[in-house]
Structure 1
């Protein structure tokens, strides 16, 4: 494991493969960590790629460089973290790939700085939040799936996450991936990442900011203003749509075409919310398709 100063973070990351090979950055979501890519990485390395798998802000050994930096989980911060990491490592137009929070960071870097990436792999399509319309209610059968977000809007929820990090994450894994029989060994490999001292603050801020309930870090105001325009993504993109995601069914190709002008592939996979760990061969194939 390496640690690299990138923007406001000292980012802990794993690097694999030939440093001269085409670069790929794999980004995990909430509540997961780089272990979700353990079976994806060897397939990409065998294909000649240089693979970088970082711990996001608030996870594992990644730390904020300053005690005064806002412990923000807003989408602009995640995007800027990824941009800064690409620059710090000197990666030449990597493929960026991810799901959940990691998919959001990957989508936003592809949208805001398309010249910095070769292409995109995104689970569930356009992971960019539309904060301006976040107060509009969704149908009840959708709303109930977001219980954890509403829970974290309260101080009771913050205290609950702090006291029960592992139980909280294990429940979400089960609800979001109902067809995946993960083992305690698999969960146990990731669970220590939730012990990061900034985990609770970053997570709570993320789920409050996306509903406009708290202010963001002023550092990212200009980026958030750009994101508010819901920018179209023009880099070559492969969309991976899991058919058993407990957060809801796939959006469909027509919805994806509203947000991506260069869809190079669209794959329906028999998986829940975490395709890299549930169907690693299919996810690696999607990345190789972009490469």
Structure 2
């Protein structure tokens, strides 16, 4: 896998490219705690279908680095959306299909909601991924609260130290908990886990899981974007949203349908957990292809 680098916004972004340079553009965005390898299968299938696919490392992962030492290592949702838009600008891609899950789904949803003129269509794992930070302290069901243990752990300095000390063990446990029917081996995990050695990984992850609960301030550079997101904007572009029926952290998100005011389908991947594109690459690629007919 060849990693390319490009300066985009506040980052030097590492990304993998698939398919013909004159193909129809697609951006595939990974989540926490995963990396670009989640899309190897789906991206290859899309490339075979004529897509020009870009798969970036999120801030804090792999070879993506900050251009300046004084930039806040923010993991807030506005930063993720900004990073995706900045990458599209740097690559001179005017309009594309954007797709992702977890953090990557959040980035794709944000660009689709705030800059719909830049988006041909959206594929989003777990549907409407834009956080409602103003209401983040409202409790969920006990079952859902239990699945968020890692988020509450990261709110404490004990959790920060735990992530610094053994990020691989935490990520491995989450993979097992979130995708109980996915049989992956140690080689598959280690291939991705190398991306967590990024020097900014811990800072970005901790900031992300604190900011979404209003526990830390965001980057002032993204204040306007966060203000727009606080309105919980509808997504108007053609969209396919997906849940895995064995997802151990995000339960059914079919109720998010009202946030999608354009053409919209919701799909369930059978025997799939949270890491949808890596567990079901054929179905993920098909969802991207199907958005072109909407």
TM-score bracket, shorter-length normalisation = over 0.9
1:138-167 Cα offsets, whole Å, 9 max, x none, are 121110100000000000000000000100
Q: Quote the offset at 1:264 in angstroms.
A: 3.6
- For 1:33-52, list aligned pairs within 5 A: 33-52=35-54
Q: Quote the offset at 1:250 in angstroms.
A: 1.0
- Equivalent position of 1:256 in the other structure: 256
Q: Does the CA contact (< 8 Å) of 1:23 and 1:92 recur in 2? A: no
Q: Does the CA contact (< 8 Å) of 1:239 and 1:263 recur in 2? A: no
- Equivalent position of 1:14 in the other structure: 16
- For 1:152-191, list aligned pairs within 5 A: 152-191=154-193
1:257-278 Cα offsets, whole Å, 9 max, x none, are 2100123432110200011000
- Aligned alpha-carbon RMSD (Å): 0.8
Q: Does the CA contact (< 8 Å) of 1:9 and 1:63 recur in 2? A: yes
Shift in CA distance, 134/264, structure 1 to aligned 2, threshold 3 Å: closer
Q: Quote the offset at 1:72 in angstroms.
A: 0.1
Q: Distance in 2 between matches of 1:280 and 1:16?
A: 15
- Equivalent position of 1:210 in the other structure: 212
Q: Does the CA contact (< 8 Å) of 2:10 and 2:66 recur in 1? A: yes
In the alignment, which of 188, 202, 213 is matched to residue 200 of structure 1? Answer: 202
**Which aligned segments of 4 or more residues in structure 1 are displaced greater than 4 angstroms?**
none
- Equivalent position of 1:288 in the other structure: 289
Q: Distance in 2 between matches of 1:38 and 1:64?
A: 25
1:41-72 Cα offsets, whole Å, 9 max, x none, are 11101100000000000000000000010000
Matched, 1:267 2:267: yes
Q: Does the CA contact (< 8 Å) of 2:250 and 2:274 recur in 1? A: no
In the alignment, which of 94, 98, 101 is matched to residue 99 of structure 1? Answer: 101
Q: Distance in 2 between matches of 1:256 and 1:205?
A: 26
Q: Quote the offset at 1:181 in angstroms.
A: 1.1
| Count of residues in Structure 1 that have an aligned counterpart in Structure 2 | 289
- Equivalent position of 2:80 in the other structure: 78
- Equivalent position of 1:114 in the other structure: 116
Matched, 1:143 2:145: yes
Q: TM-score normalized by structure 2?
A: 0.97
Q: Does the CA contact (< 8 Å) of 1:240 and 1:268 recur in 2? A: yes
- Equivalent position of 2:278 in the other structure: 277
Structure 1: which 5+ runs fail to align? none
Structure 2: which 5+ runs fail to align? none
Q: Does the CA contact (< 8 Å) of 2:126 and 2:250 recur in 1? A: no
Q: Does the CA contact (< 8 Å) of 1:72 and 1:202 recur in 2? A: yes
Q: Quote the offset at 1:248 in angstroms.
A: 3.6
- For 1:236-255, list aligned pairs within 5 A: 236-252=238-254, 255=255
